Amino acid sequence: YPCDQSNTITLSAVINAPLYSSCSPSLTMAGLTGSTSNSLSSLTLVAPLSNSSAVVWSQSAGQVSFGTNSLPGSSSDAYQTYLNLSFVVSNRAYAQSPPTIVLTLSHGTGVTWSQAPFGDFSPMNIMTPRIIAARSSQSSPYPCDTNMIVFELDSAVPFFAACSPRIVVTGLTGTVNDTTLNPNNQLKLQYTVPSSGLSSPVPWDLNAGIFSLNVTSNWGPSGAYPVASVAFHVLVRNPASPQAPPNVSVAVSYTTQGGSSGSSAETRAWVVPSGLTAPSNNGSLIRPVPVQLYDGDRYFVSDWRQTLYIRQPTLLSTLISQSSPMAGSQNDITLTFKANVELITLCRPRIILSNLIGACVDTDVLLSGGSAPQFSNVNKVSGRASFDAKNYALTMYASRYSSPNATDPLPDAMVLDQVPYIIRFRSVNPVQGQDAPQPYLQIALDGATANMPPPALVGEDMITVPTAAHVTYYPGDASALKVIAPTFDIRSIVQTNSMPGQSNSFLVTIQLNMDLPVNSVLTLSGFLANTPSDPNPTSRLDLAPSGSLALSDVPGLTPPVLSILSSVRDTAGSSGSTAGSGYFDRVLGRLSLYVTSTLTAGVPYAFKFTLLNPQCQMAPVVPCIRAGRIAAGSCYLGSVGRNLFTTEPVGVGDMTPLTVDGTKVGGARPGEELPLSVRQPYIMLALMQQSSALPCATNDLTFSFVTNVSLVPNLNHSLVFTGLLGARNGTSVAMPGGPVQLQVTATGPNIFAATASWNPASGVLVVPISITSSTTAGSTYGFKVTLTNPAAPQDCAMSVQMTITGMCFNSVTVGWPLSSSSDLDGQGSCVAPGFSSSDPTSGWTSVPTLVGGKCPLYVVNAAYFWTMARQSSFFPCDPSNTITIQLVSNVPLSFCSPNITLRGLAGTQTPASSAFPLTIQSGSGSVASSITGVWLNDTGSLILTAPAVPSSSCTPFVISFKVRNQKSRRSPAVVTVETSGFSGASIARAQAVNPYSSFVSPTNYDPLFVVAAAFPNKTVVQSTPWPGAANTLTVSLSTNVPLWVDCAVLVITNLEEACASQGSMPLTGTDAASFSWNGVAPGTGLWASAADPSGRSVQEGRLTLWPVGSAGSVCGTVNCIQTLSNWVFGFVVRNPMNPQYSPPVQIMADATQG
């Protein structure tokens, strides 16, 4: 057994020879593991081991050795030795399998023998601590009852106190604190087997449902395979709330190791069955409880003894009936029931009969019937109950008190399990009729916070027929609180106008099946303007203001009602009332009529009243009529319950003519006589178009619309257009400018205010309506406003929406155009003239139409359809090269007041200037204008600030100005033009201007093209070859370009060994006067001689000549030598003394300026 402190180990051995002490024999037994004995003092030696000093024990090795002195000397004979050894060890607290025992005998030589495990009594075989069976039960399933919980355990092994056995019960949840049963959070053990050895009282964790028992003495029968049984019970207080049996479990464990280990902790749990079973017989411990069949208990179990199963309190076999269904009469109500539990008085049980709608009883209700004395009211008075009029509930406490001043009820339960009870009480029926309500019956307990069954329907008496004089009743009339209702036999209403915002007369006819006495009030209700789409419900003008509302008689119908109805508010009585009128409550949508003379049953009465229709569409209402404040002797003011009016869903005979254009909007339609049936205002047609798609242009937006209903005065109608935004790349963009008032011009009947509000940023246009009489539904109305288009191109407004305020008009997408054509004439593109000349400044026209140009807010992309750049001179250094830029735009440039910048003209000899002269010409045949611009020579840019550009589309625009060409050859310039003021348009970006050569060959007149200067003819001859002779050198020259005096120098070089005086050199010949020395001495040149620059030992002579020009059409503002076929001049040098070949004489035009 685990933890047995007295496990006797017995060894019987026969040795086949005598043992002689002279050989120091010893015997070792090994394999005795699992003991908690750690020293010899823990052993008990049994004879013949009388000398324990020679015994050595090792707990860790599980080994005992018997030395020489411990072995008996008299147990041997001449042939063999007999050994019978016994000693006692303490078993450990948990199981182990039997080890193999090994004996070793030392007697000069060693002999070993081993014994294999052979069963439960093999040395150190320790059984598994195990509970064979665990049982639990309770004594009562009733809420709030004292409950005896019984536990029984059968163990396969005895309990040994040395290892501190502990029994832990968990899951015992749901109980409530009772200091009488469980003082100081402790449980008292009421019954135990064995009668001692269990700790008591027991610590108790009520919330967790846990308690534990310590076993303080050895417990269980001795011998092989005993069953150690333990039984104990505790008393707890059942909860008020029902519950399913919790998962109660029992755990058993040794908490210490025992033996020499003493109090060292042990944590291994015993094996315990997973579920607890109920004991087979609890004898006198269990109270008798009636057998319970399933009755709707959500926690129902077939064996109520399952621990802490708390039955759900339920009332069974319920039945309720009444004695009279007459409105306003006295009525005896009888209730029969029984319960499925005892109602323990500790929890103040009460039976609540609820939903007694219409019952009229006192707060303190007298009960009758045989069971009445067993119940009391809230004031502890027996034979009475308490009534809660607010909740229509009758409460009967299932307890009696010795007196109303007693604190606690008498202990005996007044309501027992499965016992029928009958009680009766009296009520007064209401005046208004009602179907029998569904009474509910339930049990309530103090402290029941969850899991209580909901109130259960009470069975109705559908068989008994009540009896009364002069009245015939039928089966079902005995249903409690069923009241046969007074009613209106006739109740009809029609309207006369379905147009929103217009006056509407209602014709009402009524007839009752009872006399309606004076001081009663007729209430017509349901006249609510239920228009959820109304954008501004707080400012509605519909129906009528709260206050007196005039009535009118219906001609031809008698009797007149003006003398028998008057206005009333809140309280009955004629004070402050107005005869022939009613009181209308706009918030509640009802008309109240005070009866000043009895309305006779069976007589029809008819009258009219007028309301203003809502501004929004409204589905017809179904008004109700009721008669209230009927004094009929009951405890309530009675009433004839609300009845729906009957209506006319088809006819239109009572409708008044409507203001409509009959060709487009029809008159009254079936269904429009239904009360407050208001037509849906909607915009039948909404169109618009624009007058210009040109950037920066004035643009007339013209709108027209048609509505299906009339617009009426005093509703502050406004047309609201949203989405008036252009679009770029699928995204809306704002129109230019800030909020402003726009002039409104009617294009037909004028129903508009003089100005409209325009917010370009949001694209919202609000046009107020200004009328003194209603418009005609179906007629077309139109107006226009004027905007300024943006400079940037944009697509049409993606979605312009229109609605009309003051009524709940739908929002519609505004279509375009107003007419069949969507195109604009003469906008957006240009037609080239088909020219053959090099200067196409005439013949340009706009395209006939701009497709889709009327689409609102569409602005064309401003672009140059034609560009050309040309020059007047391609000569190097020409100071008067006229650059001409020709531009043709598809839009009027003047609308956006642009600046024009020309770029790409770098490389000229033109000084920078902030007042650079130029001319412009707008249109064919117009006079060129002289203006100034800004010239930036370093970048070759010309800036024109707000020039007089064309004011019409496709008009040629010519810019001309002069520059001075550079001296060296160059390719044509790439000129670009940028035009500000058209942000985002093509015209605003740098655009290459087409060179002249794109239209006419060759490229000489492309801007800033300069030809290479050259000498087509260049000859020199001498007059004599004789050494030392005076030699006249005659030069014949021609150039392909003019030579401007401030720009060119001629140098004749490589006149080897020619001899002349340094300095002035006279010239001879026909054209000698065309050249000079530095421009100051015509007919002379500058002679210079110097060593040959290449290092040869010769002198190189050179003659430098400056042109002497004259003014001319070619020269412009600076004199020049114009191109000639030949220039001839001569000069005299002296030949060298030594012979030489003619050197290669060279000539060049050298730049000496800039």
- Using one digit for the tens of pLDDT, what is the confidence trace for 955-995? 889 999 999 999 889 999 999 999 998 888 888 888 899 99
Residue 572 scores a pLDDT above 50: no
Read off the tokens for 138: 């309770």
Q: Residue 71: its pLDDT value, please? A: 57
Residue 280 scores a pLDDT above 60: no
Report d(CA 245, CA 501) in Å as an integer: 69
Beta bridge partners of 916: 933
Average pLDDT of the chain is 85
**Residue 265 DSSP one-character state:** B
Over residues 367-379, the pLDDT tens digits come to 998 899 989 999 9
Task: Answer for the pair 1039, 1013: CB distance below 8 angstroms, yes or no.
Answer: yes
Least confident of 93-102, 297-306, 706-715: 297-306
Over residues 415-427, the pLDDT tens digits come to 888 899 999 999 9
Parallel/antiparallel/unpaired status of strands 1063-1066 and 1084-1091: antiparallel
Output 1125 or 695, whichever has higher pLDDT.
695
Residue 953 scores a pLDDT above 90: no
**How many other CB atoms are found less than 10 A from the CB of residue 1120?**
25
Q: Is residue 198 packed enough to be buried (19+ CB in 10 Å), middle (13-18) or exposed (0-12)?
A: buried
Amino acid identity of residue 897, one-letter, is S
Mean of pLDDT values over 830-841: 62
Report d(CA 65, CA 40) in Å as an integer: 11
Mean of pLDDT values over 916-942: 89
Over residues 387-410, the pLDDT tens digits come to 998 899 999 999 888 888 888 888
Residue 4 scores a pLDDT above 70: yes
**How many other CB atoms are found less than 10 A from the CB of residue 547?**
13
Residue 566 scores a pLDDT above 80: no
CA angle 181, 185, 187 (to 5 degrees): 50
Residue 571 scores a pLDDT above 50: no
Output 193 or 748, whichever has higher pLDDT.
748
End-to-end CA distance of the chain: 128
Q: Residue 405: its pLDDT value, please? A: 83
Output 463 or 918, whichever has higher pLDDT.
918
Report d(CA 516, CA 644) in Å as an integer: 18
Q: Give me the sign of the Cα torsion angle 805, 807, 813, 814.
A: negative
Output 719 or 432, whichever has higher pLDDT.
719
Q: Residue 39: its pLDDT value, please? A: 73
Q: Residue 242: its pLDDT value, please? A: 92
Least confident of 259-263, 434-438, 735-739, 928-932: 259-263
Which has the closest alpha carbon to 864: 992, 974, 983, 728? 992
Residue 772 scores a pLDDT above 80: yes
Least confident of 505-514, 729-738, 810-819: 505-514
Q: Residue 1146: its pLDDT value, please? A: 87
Task: Answer for the pair 800, 814: CB distance below 8 angstroms, yes or no.
Answer: yes
Over residues 988-1018, the pLDDT tens digits come to 888 899 998 888 777 789 999 999 888 889 9
Tokens 């348009």, located at residue: 985
Q: Residue 659: its pLDDT value, please? A: 65
Global pTM reads 0.53
Report percent pLDDT > 90 for the chain.
42
Which has the closest alpha carbon to 153: 111, 104, 193? 193
Residue 747 scores a pLDDT above 70: yes
Mean of pLDDT values over 612-617: 86
Query: Long-range CB contacts (< 8 A, 24+ apart) of 464-467?
Result: 464/321, 466/322, 466/323, 466/324, 466/325
Over residues 890-907, the pLDDT tens digits come to 899 889 999 999 999 999
Over residues 80-136, the pLDDT tens digits come to 777 777 788 889 999 999 999 999 988 777 788 888 888 888 999 999 999 998 989
Output 1153 or 357, whichever has higher pLDDT.
357
Question: DSSP labels for 868-922?
Answer: EEEES--STT-TTEEEEEEEEESS-GGGG---EEEE--TT--PPPEEEEEEEEEE
Over residues 636-690, the pLDDT tens digits come to 677 888 899 998 887 776 677 666 776 777 777 888 899 999 988 999 999 999 9
* CA trace torsion 321, 324, 330, 333 (10° rounding): 0
Mean of pLDDT values over 489-513: 89
Residue 610 scores a pLDDT above 90: yes
Report d(CA 545, CA 463) in Å as an integer: 53
Task: Answer for the pair 423, 351: CB distance below 8 angstroms, yes or no.
Answer: no
Q: Residue 808: its pLDDT value, please? A: 85
Q: Residue 877: its pLDDT value, please? A: 92
Report d(CA 833, CA 841) in Å as an integer: 9
Report percent pLDDT > 70 for the chain.
89
Cα 32 versus chain centre, distance: 75
Residue 201 scores a pLDDT above 60: yes
Mean of pLDDT values over 320-335: 84
Residue 50 scores a pLDDT above 50: no
**Residue 539 DSSP one-character state:** G
Q: Residue 859: its pLDDT value, please? A: 94
